């Protein structure tokens, strides 16, 4: 059942490592700043991304690599503002990574999963981190809405 090319296997490993890193990074932000959005929601989404990739590993009978990322190996941020800005950069890089990986994938089930992950990153996560960065750039919290 494992009729994947070396490039496809490498792509799956790279994608999984990136999702592992994202999950651990957002977990670190939550450990440092509390249950703050969008990190809590996106960390849960990253767990689903990891599950989707692990399902592909299972389908192709590939060993699932362990997660090398943890609270001691990921970047820590001095402020929520910095974490939000880093989230924007990371999600842009994630989209670019998927663009590159999709070029070597021949199996349509893998293409579908990677496109779904890329879409979540670019359509939802990136927008949420941009909102977070804009919000945090103000007074660091949501203030009262002006009367209109």
Nearest to 125 by CA among 90, 80, 73, 74: 90
Burial (CB count <10 Å: 0-12, 13-18, 19+), residue 135: middle
Percent of the chain topping pLDDT 70: 90
Instruction: Please tell me the pTM assigned to this model.
Output: 0.85
Does 145 reside within a domain? no
Does 142 reside within a domain? no
Q: State how many domains the chain has.
A: 1
**pLDDT above 70 for 19:** yes
Does 111 reside within a domain? yes
**pLDDT above 60 for 146:** no
Question: Residue 49 and residue 72: Cα distance in Å, rounded?
Answer: 22
Does 89 reside within a domain? yes
Cβ atoms of 46 and 129 within 8 Å: the answer is: no
Does 18 reside within a domain? yes
Nearest to 121 by CA among 3, 26, 11: 26
Q: What is the CATH number of the domain that holds 57?
A: 1.20.1260.10
Residue 96 domain boundaries: 6-137
Cβ atoms of 100 and 114 within 8 Å: the answer is: no
Does 115 reside within a domain? yes
Nearest to 38 by CA among 109, 111, 130: 130
């Amino acid at each position: 059942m494992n009729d994947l090319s070396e490039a496809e296997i490498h792509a799956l490993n790279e994608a999984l490592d990136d999702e592992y890193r994202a999950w651990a990074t957002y977990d670190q932000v939550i450990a440092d700043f509390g249950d703050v959005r969008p990190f809590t929601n996106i960390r849960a989404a990253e767990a689903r991304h990891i599950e989707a990739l692990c399902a592909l590993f299972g389908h192709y009978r590939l060993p699932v690599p362990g997660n090398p990322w943890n609270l001691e190996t990921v970047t820590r941020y001095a402020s929520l503002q910095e974490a939000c800005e880093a989230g924007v950069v990371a999600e842009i890089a994630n989209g670019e990574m998927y663009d590159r990986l999709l070029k070597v994938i021949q199996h349509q089930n893998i293409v579908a999963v990677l496109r779904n992950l890329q879409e979540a990153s670019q359509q939802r996560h990136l927008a949420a981190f941009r909102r977070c960065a804009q919000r945090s750039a103000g007074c660091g919290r949501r203030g009262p809405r002006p009367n209109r």
